[in-house]
Chains A and B, each alone.
Chain A
Amino acid sequence: MSLMNTLLQATDLAAAYSKMGAAIGAGLAAIGAGMGIGKIGGSAMESIARQPESTGDIRANMIVAAALIEGAVFFAIVVCLLILFL
Chain B
Amino acid sequence: MKMQSTENQCTSVGVRFGKFVFALFLTLFFNNVGIANDNHSSNTNSEDVEHHDAESHEASTHEHAESHETTTGFEPGKMIMEHIADAHDWHLWGEGDHSVSIPLPVILYTSEGLSVFSSSNFHHGHSPYNGFKLNHEGVVTWEDETKTDVIYDLSITKNVLALFIGSIFLIVLVIKMARHYAANTGKAPKGIYNLIEPLILFLRDDIARPTIGKKADNYMSLLLSIFFFIFTLNLFGLIPVFPGGANVTGNISVTMVLALVVFITVTISGNKYYWKHIFMPDVPVWMYVIIIPIEILGVVLKPFVLMLRLFANITAGHIIILGFFSLIFIFGNMNAGLGYAVSPLSVAFTLFMSVLELLVAFLQAFVFTLLSSIYIGMAVEEHHH
Contacts and interface: CB of A to CB of B under 8 A. Distances in A.
A11 interface: no
Interface in B109-156: none
B49 interface: no
Contacts of B367: 64, 67-68, 71
Interface residues of B, number: 18
Nearest to A84: B77
Interface in A1-23: 1-3, 6
A78 B307 CA distance: 12
A3 B316 contact: no
Contacts, number: 43
B31 A78 contact: no
Contacts of B36: 2
Q: Which of A63, A71, A78 has the most CB of B within 10 A?
A: A71
B97 to A, nearest CB: 28
Contact of A77 (B31, B35, B316): B316
B305 A63 contact: no
A12 B366 CA distance: 46
A78 B310 CA distance: 12
Contact of A70 (B29, B309, B311, B370): B309
B313 A70 contact: yes
B371 to A, nearest CB: 8
Contacts of B309: 67, 70-71, 74
B308 interface: yes
Interface in B15-31: 28-29, 31
B32 A3 contact: yes
B375 to A, nearest CB: 13
Contacts of A67: 309, 363-364, 366-367
A74 B308 contact: yes
A24 to B, nearest CB: 12
Interface of A is mostly: helix
Contact of A3 (B28, B308, B364): B28
A74 B35 contact: no
Contacts of A68: 367
Contacts of A3: 28-29, 31-32
B351 interface: no
B312 interface: yes
Interface of B is mostly: helix
B178 to A, nearest CB: 28
A78 B364 CA distance: 17
Given A64-B367, A77-B316, A71 B308 contact: yes
Nearest to B368: A67
Contacts of B370: 64
A35 to B, nearest CB: 15
Contacts of A71: 305, 308-309, 313, 367
A54 B35 CA distance: 64
Nearest to B364: A67
A23 B29 CA distance: 21
Contacts of B29: 1-3
Nearest to B371: A68
Interface string B224-267: 00000000000000000000000000000000000000000000
Interface string B296-317: 0000000001001101110010
A83 B227 CA distance: 32
Contacts of B28: 3
A74 B31 contact: no
Interface in B341-382: 363-364, 366-367, 370
Given A2-B32, A2-B35, A3-B29, A78 B363 contact: no
Given A6-B32, A64-B370, 5 more contacts: A2-B36, A3-B31, A64-B367, A74-B316, A77-B316
21 contacts: A1-B32, A2-B29, A2-B31, A2-B32, A2-B36, A3-B29, A3-B32, A6-B32, A63-B363, A64-B367, A67-B309, A67-B363, A67-B367, A71-B309, A71-B313, A74-B308, A74-B316, A75-B305, A77-B312, A77-B316, A78-B311
Minimum-distance CB pairs A-B, first 5: A74-B312, A2-B32, A71-B309, A67-B367, A3-B29
